[in-house]
Amino acid sequence: MSTNHDTPAAERRRDPAEEARTLVASMTVAHLATVSGDGEPWCSLVSYGPTADGDPVLLLSSQTEEGRHLVQQPRASLAIHDPSAPGDPLDRPRITLAGRAVRPEGEQAEQALHAHASAIPGAMLYAAWEEFSVWVLEVGEVRCVGSLFQTDTISRDVYRASEPDPTAPVAVKMAEHLNKSPDGLLVVARELAGARGAVSAVCTGIDRYGIDLACTGAGQSAAARVLFGEPLRSASELRPATAELISRAQSAGD
């Protein structure tokens, strides 16, 4: 099976900062590390929702260790991964956000609570209780670890300037959908990914830039990638963009 190698642009994919923003936007559960006034670390399961800048918003009870700690010592660290991802947990992409937790006031507190409750709707049941406080973890540094990320350190500015992949919430379902009628993918693999000898193609991933395919043919298998016409700006663009890819491939094959 021949593979077309003069398409380096097809390698364009999310960079570590986009991966981090996408992971933060995709999850709602994380682990928080705080420190007591006398320096004892404490690790706890928390839920969060991110602000538009990617700062996680927590809603913590003053009856918990973490809630007490942050009052005395605002430095905090939040670890996030996707526990549903396949494979060895230690091989999965994961991030640690390090920063300072602040209690917003006034309108900022409203906005922060809204960010939290958008991800955790049930939070509105107890958000008004006196013992609960909204905390915003102002991200200072991001460490990305894992097979996909390797290890990258991202500054606050780069993290904030990036954005989550808008297609992430629907990408897995779209890949499943595409794999149900694989003829279209096979034409894409043959005509647009240069895998002319492919006899089968399976979609293994989708992001705002393109789709990843696993192609097989002549007893060999190869990964291939095809880019959308331009990076997608919303989840609703994903379906027409994949239809366009297949249509473009079919035209090329005629």
Contact positions vs its own copies (CB under 8 A):
29, 31-35, 39-45, 47, 65, 73, 75-79, 81, 83, 88-90, 94, 96, 98, 122, 143, 145
- Report the C-alpha dihedral over residues 163, 167, 173, 175, rounded to 10 degrees: -110
Indicate left, alpha or beta for 160 from its phi (over 0: left) and psi (-120 to 50: alpha). Answer: alpha
3-class SS of residue 43? strand
Task: Kindly state the smallest distance separating residue 95's Cβ from its own copies, in Å.
Answer: 10
Nearer to its own copies, 153 or 179 (CB): 153
- Pinpoint the alpha helices (H) of 42-105: 65-72
Nearest residue (CB) to its own copies, 10 versus 142: 142
Nearer to its own copies, 40 or 105 (CB): 40
Helix axes 238-253, 168-180, angle to 10 degrees: 40
Identity at 91, one-letter amino acid code: D
CA separation for the pair 124, 170 (Å, rounded)? 26
According to DSSP, residue 112 is labeled H
Adjacent-strand bridge partners of 50: 56
Give 60 or 189: the residue with its C-beta nearer to its own copies: 60
Identity of the residue, 34 or 51, whose beta carbon is nearer to its own copies in the bound complex: 34
CB 54, min distance to its own copies, A: 17
DSSP 94-107: EEEEEEEEE---HH
